Amino acid sequence: MISPAVVLGASFGYLLLLFAIAAWGDRRAAEGRSLIDNAAVYALSWGVYCTAWTYFGSVGRAATSGVWFLPIYLGPMLAMLLAWIVLRKMVRISRVYRITSIADFVASRYGKSPLLAALVTLITVIGIVPYIALQLKAASAGFHLLTGAPGSAPAAAWWRDGVFYVALALAAFAIMFGARHLDLAERHEGMVAAIAFESVVKLAAFLAVGAFVTWGLFDGMDDIWAQARTVPELSALFRLDGGGEPFAYAEWFSLTILSMLSVLLLPRQFQVMVVECVNERRIRRAAWLFPAYLLAINIFVLPIAVGGLLVFGPGAADAETFVLSLPLSQGAAAIALLAYIGGLSAVTGMLIVETVAVSTMVCNDLVMPSLLRLDRFGNRAGGDLTRLLLNIRRVAIIAVLMLGYLYFRIAGEAYALVSIGLISFAAVAQFAPALFGGMYWRGATWAGAFGGLLGGFAVWAYTLMLPSVAKSGWLPIGLVEHGPFGIELLKPERLFGLTGLDSLTHSLFWSLLVNVGLYVGLSLARAPAAREASQALLFVDVFRRGGAEPVFWRGRARLDDLKALARRFLGAARAAAIFEEEARGFGPPTPERVADARLVDRVERQIAGAVGAASARVIVASVVQEEPLTVDDVLEILEEASQLRGYARALEEASAELRAANEQLKTLDQLKDDFVSSVTHELRTPLTSIRALSELLLDAPELGPAQREEFLQIIVAEAERLSRLVNQVLDLAKIEAGGAEWNWTEVDLRALVTEAARATSELFRERGAAVALDLPDTVPALRADADRLMQVMQNLLSNAAKFAPRQGGRVEIALREEGDGLVVSVRDNGPGVAPEDRAGIFEKFRQGGDEATRPPGTGLGLSISRQIVEHLGGKMWVESEPGRGACFAFRLPLHPEREPHERESADR
């Protein structure tokens, strides 16, 4: 047992830490250095999915039915596989249209309907308040267990109940970090940072308990299993049909689907995933980090459950509190306290986010519409309303939490932890058809959404909520057992005689059937009105619009009215900022001071961020003269927008082309610069020797004849090198510029190769290299320029001579007919060309081999040769393995495609 003072102290200490972290997060956000713009933090904030229901309830479930705790986490895994597709679209829609809650999302899609928003809010409140109560109950039960007080019921009067003060502290937190200022995007970075921290705490605490049980009380997981195996009712936990009954595959499947939907649709999940999303690209990584988090927090569920059953004996203790009671029973008070803090973090995280989310809905979609109807609040009443809005939000936070507390006090003992969570899940699952359908189906209408939601909710209430209320003893149980008025067909858990399903699957089946049926049926029955159709286009095609969005509004609005409106709902500073920005972007307002559709839409969206889309619609409509849109108008506006988009795209393409051309020019410029620089270098090098040695000869009459002759020989050689270079550069320039003269004649390549080999035989003899010719007896004649080809051959042969080794040098010249072309190859047994040099060897001034050892050359020969061959319609290449010689070859077509006599003559 731990003294209540210690537990309370630790609890409030933990809450203080949360306040500090949230304050830090808010400060960082204000400085523009977001703490939460990070996939890991984002994913951790999604961990708010794991509430006390996970923390305590999973173990309870595992202890009674084995792997049945898993579908609740496998569902989110499956949902996350689609997060990049579905969640990203939700985030994008919400960001573009300033949507701040799930009610807002649904209502906005179906024509910004206040009625729909109110219905969604109502379903949420009814579905979620018991869930909030459940969290408080878990905190209370844990506290009593830890301090050794009997039972988990709140024995003391409410003002002496610690849970009450926890709830108050959380309300304070939610107000401070969830409703301190009116944020148009409704984002709360401090709160999210604290939630992410809570996710770390609960994971760490749960893992600590898991490790304590697995390796502290037992000798590893296999030991737990080995011991459990000997107890029949425990070993059954590891089989599907463990309880002796056939496995309920349908229930398993419906749990998977249910949790798959809930992980996106629970108000707290929508808040952290969609509303608080800083950067939609973070979804990519968070989508797999989050299931990994879930997996980690579930690893020890079975070991703790089975371990607890082994320690206490089956049925001897409440399995839902094993996390606390196991360490406590072993005297490990510190672990128990840590486990309690972990549980508290699960409770507080859920409560904070859920309350902020629900209070936003209550304020925007229940309270605001009623206020807007009041005269005092009417259109012309002046004054800044932002403070009032905030206060409504704050009151709503306190109200939601107190409602939860009240529920907990009244119904504290009525439900098992697990069932209530599922009831909530099933309630929010009703949003799925309207929400997901609306994102992908343009034809869905308001009537369909409203009918589906209402019908689904009614069936849910009748088949799931009502039986649980009856089982709590607040309604005659006969209602469930025999049906209302004894009508068997209407038994809530056996509707129309449908048997063979558990109550959850039964309810989910009927409610979603009715929901989807009405949604689709009513949508198909009547074509969408203009406002629904326009919103449908905005939602479904949200990714298609880049900037040029159509504005579905026509009418007249006075600028001053709009300004006054913005001031009232957004505050003076923000309103001024909007109109200034507008004036900067689109010039000063027109003299008539009339606002155009785009500005009206913009102001409406900003106000929607503060009070929700539906209320914003009503508010804006009160000061403007709106012309009703027809579906034809919608199509016309869309057409205009897509034309604008077309222009924008054409413009973008044109500028991209320009950019590319400019890049290319720059590259060419760079190449030219490099070429000039290289040529300069190659010209200056021989000039240097010539000038220096000539000057030395001039200045030093005392030089001996031998020295004199050496210098003069060098001068002559370098002068030859210089003229060779000049010729080649000119040659290359001519070929490249297309100004060279080409003398096309019939060429016998066999004769030409033989002649080239004869002409260069002196080079090979000097080098001591053997030359082998491998030529067919005859080859077809081809049309080419014989002189240029001779230049190519001589270049290849002199290269081969240069690179052949001084001893054992061998050069093979081959000519053969291949297809409709002739291939000439010159193979040497020199050092070869390294693979990395092969591509560049034909470039100007690139010379093969190590510069220190290679023979002299201008570095232009191969480049010119290739240009010639290509001009003749052929191609030239090199094959080589380093150390095993190189083979330069070229192929010429027998019938060149271009033999442009007319062009060549025109060139002259």
Partner 1 sequence: MKGARRPRTAVLIALCGAGLALVNFPLLALWDGDATILGLPLLPVALFLIWGGLIAALALASEGGEGGAGQGGEEP
Partner 2 sequence: MSAKVLIADDESNIVVSLSFMMKREGFDVLVARDGLEALGLIRRERPRLVLLDVMMPGMNGFDVCEAVRADAELRDTRILMLTAKGRDADRARGIGAGANAYVTKPFSTRDLVAKIRDTMS
Give the nearest distance from C-beta 830 to partner 2 in angstroms.
18
Judged by beta carbon distances under 5 to 8 A according to partner kind, the member of partner 2, partner 1, none in contact with residue 247 is: partner 1
Q: DSSP assignment of 446-480, as one string?
A: HHHHHHHHHHHHHHHIIIIIHHHHHHTTSS-THHH
With binding defined as CB under 8 A, does residue 546 bind partner 1?
yes
Selected binder of partner 1 within 281, 659, 884, 895 (CB under 8 A): 281
With binding defined as CB under 8 A, does residue 84 bind partner 1?
yes
With binding defined as CB under 8 A, does residue 846 bind partner 2?
no
With binding defined as CB under 8 A, does residue 253 bind partner 1?
yes
Report whether 190 contacts 328 (CB < 8 A): no
Nearer CB in complex with partner 1: 440/586: 440
Selected binder of partner 2 within 717, 786, 790, 894 (CB under 8 A): 717
Selected binder of partner 2 within 489, 525, 665, 696 (CB under 8 A): 696
Selected binder of partner 2 within 666, 691, 816, 901 (CB under 8 A): 691
Report whether 449 contacts 106 (CB < 8 A): yes
**Structure-derived torsion over alpha carbons of residues 761, 765, 766, 768, reported in degrees to the nearest 10:** 140
Selected binder of partner 1 within 28, 95, 180, 285 (CB under 8 A): 285
Segment near partner 2 (CB under 8 A), from 359-367, 380-388, 620-628, 681-689? 681-689
Q: DSSP assignment of 543-573, as one string?
A: GG-SS-------EEEEHHHHHHHHHHHH-HH
Q: DSSP assignment of 20-44, as one string?
A: HHHHHHHHHHHTT--SS-SHHHHHH
- Token pair recorded at residue 183: 């944020």
**H or E element at residue 893:** strand 886-893
With binding defined as CB under 8 A, does residue 509 bind partner 1?
no
Selected binder of partner 2 within 632, 836, 850, 897 (CB under 8 A): 850
3 state SS for 179-204:
CCCCCCCCCCHHHHHHHHHHHHHHHH
Residues in contact with partner 1, shown as a per-residue x/- string from 202 to 241 under the rule CB under 8 A: -------------------xx--xx-----------xxxx
Give the nearest distance from C-beta 677 to partner 2 in angstroms.
6
Judged by beta carbon distances under 5 to 8 A according to partner kind, the member of partner 2, partner 1, none in contact with residue 23 is: none
Judged by beta carbon distances under 5 to 8 A according to partner kind, the member of partner 2, partner 1, none in contact with residue 726 is: none
| Alpha carbon distance 250, 506 (integer Å) | 10
| Alpha carbon distance 192, 183 (integer Å) | 14
Phi, psi of 707 (to 5 degrees): -60, -45
Judged by beta carbon distances under 5 to 8 A according to partner kind, the member of partner 1, partner 2, none in contact with residue 681 is: partner 2
Q: DSSP assignment of 277-345, as one string?
A: -S-GGGHHHHHHHHHHHHHHHHTTHHHHHHHHHHHH-TTSS-GGGHHHHHHHHTT-HHHHHHHHHHHHH
The DSSP bridge pattern shows strands 886-893 and 875-880 to be antiparallel
Nearer CB in complex with partner 2: 652/720: 720
**H or E element at residue 889:** strand 886-893
With binding defined as CB under 8 A, does residue 820 bind partner 1?
no
With binding defined as CB under 8 A, does residue 659 bind partner 1?
no
With binding defined as CB under 8 A, does residue 693 bind partner 2?
yes
Nearer CB in complex with partner 2: 569/711: 711
Judged by beta carbon distances under 5 to 8 A according to partner kind, the member of partner 2, partner 1, none in contact with residue 252 is: partner 1
Give the nearest distance from C-beta 769 to partner 2 in angstroms.
23
Judged by beta carbon distances under 5 to 8 A according to partner kind, the member of partner 2, partner 1, none in contact with residue 717 is: partner 2
Selected binder of partner 2 within 488, 695, 720, 762 (CB under 8 A): 695
Report the Cα–Cα distance between both ends of the chain, in Å, rounded.
108
Give the nearest distance from C-beta 94 to partner 2 in angstroms.
54
With binding defined as CB under 8 A, does residue 718 bind partner 2?
yes
Judged by beta carbon distances under 5 to 8 A according to partner kind, the member of partner 1, partner 2, none in contact with residue 70 is: partner 1
The DSSP bridge pattern shows strands 810-818 and 594-595 to be unpaired
With binding defined as CB under 8 A, does residue 672 bind partner 2?
no
- Token pair recorded at residue 369: 């519409």
Could you tell me the CA-to-CA distances from 326 to 26, 303, 304, 307, 321 in Å, in that order? 39, 12, 8, 9, 8
Q: Which of 527, 526, 461 is nearest to 492 (CA)?
A: 461
**Cβ within 8 Å of residue 103, ≥6 positions away:** 116, 117, 118, 120, 121, 124, 361, 364, 365, 612
Give the nearest distance from C-beta 105 to partner 1 in angstroms.
19
Could you identify the residue written with the tokens 């004869």? 758
With binding defined as CB under 8 A, does residue 375 bind partner 2?
no
Give the nearest distance from C-beta 70 to partner 1 in angstroms.
6
Give residues in contact with partner 2 (CB under 8 A).
Answer: 677, 680-681, 684-693, 695-696, 699-700, 710-711, 714, 717-718, 850-852
